[in-house]
Amino acid sequence: MYLARNLTAFSTQAERMFALLKISTAHADPRSIVLKLEGKLSGGWVELLRETCAHHRQRDDRALVLDVSAVSYASSDGVSLLIQLLEKGITCDAWPPFLRELCKEES
């Protein structure tokens, strides 16, 4: 029982350590900014993406495009955020099949 509890705690810690989302500028030109998302869109990373998109939209009038090709996992909150961003006019590009299906199911 003790070992099982410790393994569960370790597993949870490990998941927290490696549940990362990298957001980087892949391309920027006078008409658009492309942000590349890599990793897991869940937990606190959902709010980070929301804030990042809001920041870019407030700073200039260029179109914002999210390259989601390297997203490996999205929680229900992450999927909801992507749908909200699409509704606000932000484009998502290079959808992994699993993510496209999750967004279709939610919308």
* CATH value at residue 65: 3.30.750.24
> Does residue 12 sit within a domain?
no
- Which structural domain, as residue segments, surrounds residue 99? 20-106
Number of domains in the chain: 1
Q: Quick check: is 75 in a domain?
A: yes
Q: Is 4 a domain residue?
A: no
The separation between CA 43 and the C-alpha centre of its own chain, rounded to angstroms, equals 10
Condensed to tens digits (0 to 9), the pLDDT of residues 19-31 reads: 689 999 999 999 9
Collapsing DSSP states into helix, strand and coil, what is residue 49? helix
pLDDT at 21: 93
User: Is 13 within the bounds of a domain?
Assistant: no
d(CA 36, CA 102): 19
SS3 35: strand
The predicted pLDDT at position 60 comes to 83
pLDDT digits (tens, 9 = 90+) for 9-19: 444 555 455 56
